[in-house]
Structure 1
């Protein structure tokens, strides 16, 4: 074991995805690191050179750098400043601070407990901000309350803290956690277009608070990392800040839910006629990615569609006296004949025979 603390997962530099070679990271975040150096009376020339960022480009607010450059710059600055918060807070967070927070969370049974611990312990290190994890209905919210004026580093701080917590959450459950929305209590910056990379999903500026929102079901996932995995991650923490997890452990549930939810203006009992393209758009992935990820989870889109159709048909046959034709339409079939053929394949009975037999929803359907 080394004498010094393990390298801590640095607060994520807002960057493009690691696989994206284009320069997408706003120069504003490089400028923020430069301001942290200036506040300490130090020169950032060495870390800028290490990240191959010419000093004359730093003043160009419209400039961009690559994810790799931002990673190198952030890592070197954290070491040289001995501050994993890069000057955001009224006191430094010495090297190892975020590693300590990660260790305090890694033994949690679920993501909800882990994030709650992260929020609570973060406040012990820095009282300039407070993190709050709440759930409302099916939505989980991780919000930041500002206890003092964060000054010129405000945007860099708020963006990085949320990215850090989100990235760590994905790592702990080994799953992509798609964001429903992100909101920020500051005006849209000149580089607002970069937020489409930083926070995938709808982004709102000049909001009442700063927060990210995601499906609350992810909070119930068990942690899939242990102490050994944590030690390895702490030695190679920077990729965590930009890693885009391919696997979504709730993907099947999310697809099933979208397939069963009526579209605006549709009757409550009607099933939407989603294509792979429309579903992929709602999930913020490509159709090819959707099919691949479902296959990795042992499912297919057609199989999930059939499952949802069958469930809706069984429910209507069991609980209503609607004509078979109406049940077929509500279950997403173009005509009664194709519905009867599909239903017989699912249950071994025609819809009329099934209804007459009075099979309950709780009984297995072979």
Structure 2
């Protein structure tokens, strides 16, 4: 991964200080293990060395971004000393690229876990699903020592950040489970992970709704190149838009057109009120009419191109009450009548 660092504003201008000093000390420990001096990295992030002794001290997300980026370059290790072998610059970017061509998040995450094992066997990542809940699990295969907390938190946040970026969606966590005891800075975990965090559990894991696994991967190579300019944003800053309901609505409209003709029927199908449906879609940056149009257009064009069915029959199958209203809508979507669209694309 790569991170562009421009002229630095004062710490007072770069957000609230929420990241615990323990993570800064962990990075300094990685320098010590390599016999290197961390002062340049600390200076770049505007962190006074004396503050390392202040256990209650916090730094901002931006300072953490600067510190980590400088350390990754100076140590030539994107894992910042966590593992028994270095992960050279670009390792995590390679993992993102390997997941980029996946059709859905479920496929992408399974690829990520499998390929991460090629980089290091000190930890093992896997996806499990049971009763509609996904568990992203991290297993330690060796003693991570004093870097355990920093490693586990960073890896889990990185996978979550990449998953959100790939799908252009904020993935809401049901719960975070961590095997280690609650640290002195346990209050920071309300910022590190949304939802409740449990310590002293049997495993390290993130749990979220299985519906997210069906979200399509929405990014391409050009988007990846832009993202890699400041890739640490995926780890240090929360993703803000949740598109899970959008995808549930798309699926319901596509698979059950006769049962989702209007907002009331659709809301009932999704066990929501119509008011809640409209409000939550608005929060996700969409509207029911937009989604209806998109689903109907995609289904209509597919039927026109793949089948010889009559226009009247297609109109009914995509949820229109009559052929004329379908023809008007189709011309608005494509600029052509259904018949012209079919003829222009039929050999």
Q: Secondary structure at the match of 2:111?
A: helix
Task: State the shift of 1:30 in Å.
Answer: 0.2
Q: Secondary structure at the match of 1:69?
A: helix
Task: State the shift of 1:62 in Å.
Answer: 1.1
Partner of 1:122: 116
2:168 to 174, 183, 196: 174
Contact 2:14 2:62 in 1 (8 A): no
Partner of 1:245: 239
Q: Secondary structure at the match of 1:144?
A: strand
Task: State the shift of 1:272 in Å.
Answer: 9.7
- Could you tell me which runs of 5 or more consecutive residues in structure 2 were left unpaired when the two chains were aligned: 5-12, 250-269, 290-318, 322-347
Which one scores higher on RCO, CA 8 angstroms, separation ≥ 6? 1
Q: Secondary structure at the match of 1:165?
A: helix
Partner of 1:298: 287
Is 1:154 the equivalent of 2:145? no
1:253-272 matches, cutoff 5 A: none
Q: Distance in 1 between matches of 2:142 and 2:3?
A: 25
Q: Secondary structure at the match of 2:86?
A: coil
Where is the helix percentage greater, Structure 1 or Structure 2? 2
Task: State the shift of 1:238 in Å.
Answer: 2.2
Q: Distance in 1 between matches of 2:3 and 2:129?
A: 26
Task: State the shift of 1:254 in Å.
Answer: 7.7
Partner of 2:299: none
1:112 to 90, 106, 119: 106
Contact 1:188 1:206 in 2 (8 A): yes
Q: Distance in 2 between matches of 1:33 and 1:243?
A: 19
Partner of 1:91: 85
Q: Distance in 1 between matches of 2:27 and 2:244?
A: 37
Contact 1:172 1:225 in 2 (8 A): yes
Is 1:219 the equivalent of 2:213? yes
| Root mean square deviation, CA, Å | 3.1
1:1-366 matches, cutoff 5 A: 7-8=1-2, 21-251=15-245, 292-293=282-283, 296-299=285-288
Q: Secondary structure at the match of 1:36?
A: helix
Q: Secondary structure at the match of 2:205?
A: strand
Q: Secondary structure at the match of 1:72?
A: helix
Contact 1:9 1:99 in 2 (8 A): no
Contact 1:51 1:73 in 2 (8 A): yes
Q: Secondary structure at the match of 2:17?
A: coil
Q: Secondary structure at the match of 1:130?
A: strand
Residues 111-132 of structure 1, C-alpha deviation per residue, up to 9 Å, x if partnerless? 1111101100101101000001
Contact 2:161 2:239 in 1 (8 A): no
Task: State the shift of 1:291 in Å.
Answer: 7.6
Distance 1:178 1:148, change over 3 A: same
Q: Secondary structure at the match of 1:24?
A: strand
Task: State the shift of 1:27 in Å.
Answer: 0.2
Contact 1:8 1:98 in 2 (8 A): no
Contact 2:182 2:199 in 1 (8 A): yes
Q: Distance in 1 between matches of 2:247 and 2:107?
A: 22
Task: State the shift of 1:242 in Å.
Answer: 3.1
Residues 168-197 of structure 1, C-alpha deviation per residue, up to 9 Å, x if partnerless? 000001111101110000000000010000
